[in-house]
Amino acid sequence: MKAINAIGVACMTAALAPCIAAEAPAEQRLPEVTVGETRSVAERNQLPVTTESITAKEISESVNMMNTEDAIKYLPDVLVRKRHIGDTQAPMTTRTSGVGASARSLIFTDGVLLSPLIANNNNIGGPRWNMVAPEEISRIDVMYGPFSAAYPGNSIGSVVEITTRMPEKFEATAKLQSSSQHFSQYATNDTYNATQAAALLGNRNDQFSWWLGANHLVSNNQPLAYVTVARPAAPSGAGTAVSGAFADFNRTGSPIFVLGAGALEHQTQDNLKFKAAYDLTPALRATYTVGLFQNDTNANVQSYLRDGAGNAVYSGSVNIGGFNSNVAASAFAINQYKFREDHLMQSFALKSSTRGTWDFEAVAGDYSYNKSEKRSPTAALPGGLNGGAGTIEYLDGTGWSTLDLKAFWRPQGENGAHQASFGAHYDRYVLANPKYNTTEWLAGGPGALATDSRGKTATQALWMQDAWRFAPQWKATLGGRYERWNAFDGSNFSAAPALNVNQPGLSANKFSPKASLAWTPANEWLVTGSLAKAYRFPTVSELYQAITTGATITVPNPNLHPENALSGELAIERAASTGRIRFSLFQENLQDALISQSALLVPGSTTLFSFVQNIEKVRSRGAELVAQQNDVFIHGLELNGSITYVDSRIRQDAANPLAVGKRAPQIPDWRATLAATWRPNARLATTIAARYSGRQFAQIDNLDSYEHTFQGFESFLTIDARVRYQIDKRWSAAVGVDNLNNREYFLFHPFPQRTAFAELRYSH
C-alpha cells in the first residue's frame, strides 16, 4: 500500500513520456502566457526591504499548489504550517519567529489584510489564504523585516504581498486536482484523498473588468493528534486488561502510552469570489471585491485499545501490559467534533497609477466571521459518538476592519532624486468567543453559558518616508511611523471555576523610526544597510481569550506590553541577466517579547497549558545566502536555493532564569531550500525541490529534548517533484509528489507523508 502513490505518479509520468522525448514543431508550441505586474511591490513603492518573489508562471511550473499558501513554500525563510490540504490554521514563520507567532508577519492581497490580527497563534491566527483564488495571482512578494514605515510593527518578521490581476479580454479557466496520501504511524494505516474543482470567469468591456471564481474542495487528512496517557512508574494489576497501546515518550522524555488517533478531519470547503474594477480614467481605477468562504468539518477518532472481547475502549481504568492508567472521558472526546464556519470578506480600493508627480491609494477592507460554530461531546465515547452532552463554541461576530490611505509624491518625476510617500492607517479587531453547554452536542441548542471571552483593539497610525537619491550611486530612505493603540471592552467569564471579570483597558503611543542606505558600486551590485524600530501590539486574543484546543488550554494575559524590536540588516546582492546572488547579515534585539509557549504544568498530565508572557530580552542574529542561476550546465535548467542560519537566544527573563541563554521557541537554527527546474522546450517543465528545517524547541527552557513524538518539534528534510506539460493552447496537465522521500516528522502535529498530485487545467 505504501508504494501506491509512487506507482501512480510513475504511471502518469510515463503517459507524458512521448511528449518529453520529442519537442513539438515550433508552430505548435503554444506556451501559456500570463499577463500581470512585472515589478515587485517594493520596486513599485520604493520600499527599502529585501524582497524575494515568485510569479504565476513559476508557480504553475514548479509548485504542487492545491491551496494558495503552497505558492511560497520554496522562498527563503518561509515555512507555512500547513498540516493538510485545506488547513484553515496555516500561519507563516519568519527568520526570527516561529509558527506560534502569526502576528509577527503580515499577509495582504492587493493591499487588503488577510492576517487575522485578532490572535498570535497557530489556530485562529492562521491567515485567510483561501480568500485568494490561485488563478488570479500575478505574483507574490515576500519582504523581510520592519524597515518600511508603510507597514505596522507586525512586519517585524516579514510581509507577504499577493498581487492579483484583472482580465484584459474574456477568460475562462477550469481546473480539476486530486491528491492521495498513504499514512502509516502507530496503528493508523490508511489512505487519505482530496479532490478540488475550481473555475474562474472574467472579461473586460471598455473601462469595466470583472472576475468570478468558485472553488470546491473535499479533503480527508491524517490524524492531527494522538491520545496519550502517562505511563506509571510502578506496575499494577488494577484496571481492565486492554491491548493495542504503544509505548513511547512525550517531548520532555517522560514515558507515555499512545492510545489512539484523533482529529481525523473530513472537510468540505466552498469559496465564491467576485471582483469588479472600473477605470474612471486611464490612470485611476476603482475596485470592489467580495469573497465568501464556507467550511464544514467533521473530525473523528480512532482508538487502538481493545478489551478481551475485541471491543474498542475509549475511557476508564485500564491495564496496559501490567501498568494501570486512567483514561479520562475527555481524552478521546475532545478530538471528536463538528465545525462549521461562514466568512465574508469585502474590500473597496481606489488607486491611481500616473507614475507622475502624484499618485494615491485608498483601500478599505472588512472581514467578518458570520458563523463559526464548533460542537464537541463531553460524554465518554463510544456513547458520545451518537449524541449526548457536549459543548458549542462560537466565534460569530469576530472579525476586523482596516482602512489605509497612501500618497506618493515624486517632485522630480519617477526617476527624480526624491520619491516620498506618506499615509494614514486605521484598524479595529473584535473577539466574541462564548462557549455553551448543551444536552445534545450533535444538533441541540445552546444551554448554560460555560465560558465567554470578549474584547476589542484599535490602532490609528500616521507614517511617511522619503527615498532620496543624493548621489548617482547612493540612496537614503528615511521614515517613521507613529501609532496610537487601544485595547478595550475586555471581559472573561467562566462558570467553573467561577470567574466574571471586566478586564482593564490598555493604551500605548509609539513612534518607530526607519533608516536605510543603499550603494550601487556597479550596475550589477547593490549593498544595503537598514536599521529600524518596530512595536508589535498585543492581539485581542493574547489579552482576553481563554480557549481549549484539543489537549491544549490557552490562558490569556490582560496586562501585556507591546513588543519592542530593533532590527538591522546588511545585504549584498549581485544581479545579472543569467542569475542573482544575495548575502545578508541580520539581527533583531527584542524587548518585552510576546512569546506563546506551552508546558506540562500538572505532573502526570498530558494536558498542555499555553500562555503568553513578556520576556525582557531576546536576541536573534543570523546569516542568509540566496542564489538563482539560469542555464546551469545545460540550456533550460534553472537552480534556486537558499540557506539561513539563525541563533535566537533568550537574554533576560526574570520570571524564569532557567530560560536565559536557551534557544527561543519554534525557531530552527538552519533552514535551506533547493529547487531545480528544467524547461527543455516551451511546453514542458520538470521540477525537483528540497526543503530542510533544523532542530527547534517548543519550550523556553528547551527541556523538550525528545523530538519524534506528538507535541514535539523536530528537524526534517522533504523532497518534492513536479512535471507540467502544456498540451496545447487550452489544455495543460501536471503530476507531482510532495515528501517523495516519505519523511515522518512532527511539528507538534504529525505532518503529511508521501502525497501524490494530479492536475488537469483548461483555459480559454
pLDDT in tens, 716-725: 999 999 999 9
Strands of 560-698 (E only): list them. Answer: 563-576, 579-599, 608-629, 637-652, 670-678, 684-693
CA dihedral defined by 411, 412, 418, 423, rounded to 10 degrees? 30
Report the range of poorest mean pLDDT among 118-127, 149-158, 242-251, 736-745: 118-127
Mean pLDDT of 372-380: 95
Residue 495: pLDDT band by 50, 70, 90 thresholds?
Answer: confident
Residue 15 has a pLDDT of 35
Residue 547: pLDDT band by 50, 70, 90 thresholds?
Answer: low
| β-strands 552-555, 608-629 pairing | parallel
- CB contact at 8 A, 209 and 202: yes
Q: Which residue is it, cell 501559456?
A: 32
Average pLDDT over the chain reads 91
Share of the chain above pLDDT 90, in %: 86
Model confidence at 9: pLDDT above 50: no
Q: What is the largest CA-CA distance in the chain?
A: 87
pLDDT in tens, 517-530: 999 999 999 999 99
Whose CA is closest to 258, among 302, 299, 221?
Answer: 302
Model confidence at 181: pLDDT above 50: yes
Residue 39: pLDDT band by 50, 70, 90 thresholds?
Answer: confident
Taking phi first (over 0 means left), then psi (-120 to 50 degrees means alpha), and beta for anything else, what does residue 241 get?
A: beta
Q: Which residue has the higher pLDDT, 609 or 90?
A: 90
Q: How far apart are CA 128 and CA 725, in angstroms?
A: 30
pLDDT in tens, 43-93: 999 999 999 999 999 999 999 999 999 999 999 999 999 999 999 999 999
Model confidence at 684: pLDDT above 50: yes
Q: How far apart are CA 64 and CA 598, in angstroms?
A: 33
pLDDT in tens, 434-455: 999 999 999 999 999 999 999 9
Mean pLDDT of 195-205: 96
Mean pLDDT of 731-751: 97
Model confidence at 265: pLDDT above 70: yes
Q: How far apart are CA 63 and CA 713, in angstroms?
A: 25
Range of the domain at 380: 4-763
Question: Which residues lie closer than 8 Å to 310 by C-beta, 6 or more apart?
Answer: none
Question: What are residue 211's DSSP bridge partners?
Answer: 202, 275
Model confidence at 30: pLDDT above 50: no
Residue 28 has a pLDDT of 38
Model confidence at 33: pLDDT above 90: no
Residue 324 has a pLDDT of 97
- Provide the residue type at 3 as one letter: A
pLDDT in tens, 348-360: 999 999 999 999 9
Residue 22: pLDDT band by 50, 70, 90 thresholds?
Answer: very low
Residue 610: pLDDT band by 50, 70, 90 thresholds?
Answer: low
Residue 453 has a pLDDT of 93
Residue 522 has a pLDDT of 94
pLDDT in tens, 402-431: 999 999 999 999 889 999 999 999 999 999
- Provide the residue type at 252 as one letter: T
Tell me how crowded residue 7 is: count the other CB atoms within 10 A of its CB: 10
Residue 494 has a pLDDT of 86
pLDDT in tens, 558-594: 889 999 999 999 999 999 889 999 999 999 999 999 9
Q: What stretches of 181-338 show up as alpha helix (H) in DSSP?
A: 330-333
pTM of this structure? 0.92
Taking CA atoms, 151 is separated from 47, 157, 364, in Å, by: 10, 11, 15
Model confidence at 514: pLDDT above 70: yes
Residue 41 has a pLDDT of 93
Residue 25: pLDDT band by 50, 70, 90 thresholds?
Answer: very low
Mean pLDDT of 546-558: 63
Q: How far apart are CA 425 and CA 464, in angstroms?
A: 12
Tell me how crowded residue 253 is: count the other CB atoms within 10 A of its CB: 11
Instruction: Show the cell assigned to 90.
Output: 496555516
Residue 26 has a pLDDT of 37
**Number of domains, the chain:** 1
CATH code where residue 628 lies: 2.40.170.20
Secondary-structure percent of the chain, ordered helix, strand, coil, rounded to 5: 10, 55, 35
